[in-house]
A = this chain, B = another copy of it.
């Protein structure tokens, strides 16, 4: 992603919930753009193209979607995908309530009906039936057939499908089928530049800029250990956690150990090597 301008926004304020939908609040969720992702997303939204977000854990994909929902003024429905998520979990089911049977829209149906953004997080974890059920919503038909009710739901204007996954994790073991992939426009995410990342850490934890820069510098060194056995390198999210412990008066090395190293691995040697790095670089 190249050099688009960044997004200035007030600190995020809690969103508004009703109808099982989460409407954006008055203030933009904090997001610093790193490329043309906002323009491409807006074009996709305007021209009916679904979007897939690729990138490592904790690099800001979820926050980006929240930010776009605010920009577009659409409610946001988020579904964390997993192995046991069935098609019915997405589309809905009948429930017996007293002597009545009522249909309850699932999150995908709710999003399509009300013109919301529907964000399927870590789509790669879902079973094929979850994935296949979104197909008719991704092409020009923009319909969702609800076999159980006999309804063929036309997606409301503003509805947008967004999926995400982490291409660096379990690559090869699980994968999207080509017939699914080729239905999406792809946006690639990476960790922000050190300057942007320190700004994010400062904003999210309240520590001073200097300490934020020190934590980001340390983290980038840790990230270089990625090919020495780490399943995944430390994310911006972890730096923010460490910074919050520091802000709560936990000594900085203890904070790094608990929030930055411990979550990464259980391997004693790798932990020791990272611990040395912390001791030699942090005050």
Contacts and interface: CB of A to CB of B under 8 A. Distances in A.
Contacts of A182: 57-58, 232, 234-235, 237-238, 263-264
Contacts of A258: 40, 185-187
A32 interface: no
A52 interface: yes
Interface of A: 12, 14, 17, 19-20, 22, 36, 39-40, 43-44, 46-47, 49, 52, 54, 57-58, 62, 78, 80-87, 89, 94-101, 104-107, 110, 121-122, 125, 127-129, 131-133, 135-136, 139-140, 143, 145, 147-148, 150-152, 154, 166-167, 169, 171, 175, 177-179, 181-188, 231-232, 234-235, 237-238, 241, 244-245, 247-250, 254, 258-259, 261-264, 266
B83 A84 contact: no
Contacts of A47: 244-245, 247-248
Contact of A186 (B131, B140, B263): B263
B97 A178 contact: no
B145 A107 contact: yes
Contacts of A135: 80, 121
Given A125-B128, A238-B182, A262 B147 contact: no
Contacts of A186: 258-259, 261-263
